[in-house]
Homo-oligomer: A and B are copies of this chain.
């Protein structure tokens, strides 16, 4: 038997989500999270920069998927098409997960402004990375930034609608619909 139980980070994430759901974000203390995970407060801060970050462990992987999708899009694809493919791919990724857990996490985040702040900066960082990848494909600014920001906006809106729907609705399809709506709204 090893000295420590494995997956300390995962245990902290689970404990945090559970406690945030049960008692609310501000009411739960980092010490409580750590204790429930069988660790100490200091160890929590070795795994996560702050009390909010524990809910955003997956953002790096999401950004990687986004960036790879844009980079791998066919040369012939326009900027907005490349972005749309990436957003659809990200949507597909979310559909592979347990929707209840995704929903729980999202409920906590949207219920607490401090967590919404963190989510917004994650999405902004994602948009910046997307724009950067587009520039790498030779797309000039402001086109690159605009396409990236528009893509993230569509992603957010589609994700929200997906959460709101009860069954196993098709997220990539919602994404495509929202892109069409955006096209219509911006000028036709």
Contacts and interface: CB of A to CB of B under 8 A. Distances in A.
A143 B187 contact: no
A140 to B, nearest CB: 10
Contacts of A89: none
A146 B157 contact: yes
A186 B80 CA distance: 6
A68 B154 CA distance: 26
Interface residues of A, number: 31
Interface in A107-152: 113, 116-118, 120-121, 124, 142-143, 145-147, 149-150
A160 to B, nearest CB: 8
A79 interface: yes
Given A121-B120, A150-B150, A153-B153, A161 B186 contact: no
A130 to B, nearest CB: 13
26 contacts: A80-B185, A80-B186, A116-B121, A116-B124, A117-B118, A120-B120, A120-B121, A142-B161, A142-B181, A143-B181, A146-B157, A146-B178, A146-B181, A146-B182, A146-B185, A147-B185, A149-B153, A149-B157, A150-B185, A150-B186, A153-B153, A182-B186, A183-B187, A186-B186, A186-B187, A186-B188
Give the top 5 A-B pairs by smallest Cβ distance, nearest first.
A187-B188, A120-B120, A117-B117, A149-B153, A183-B187
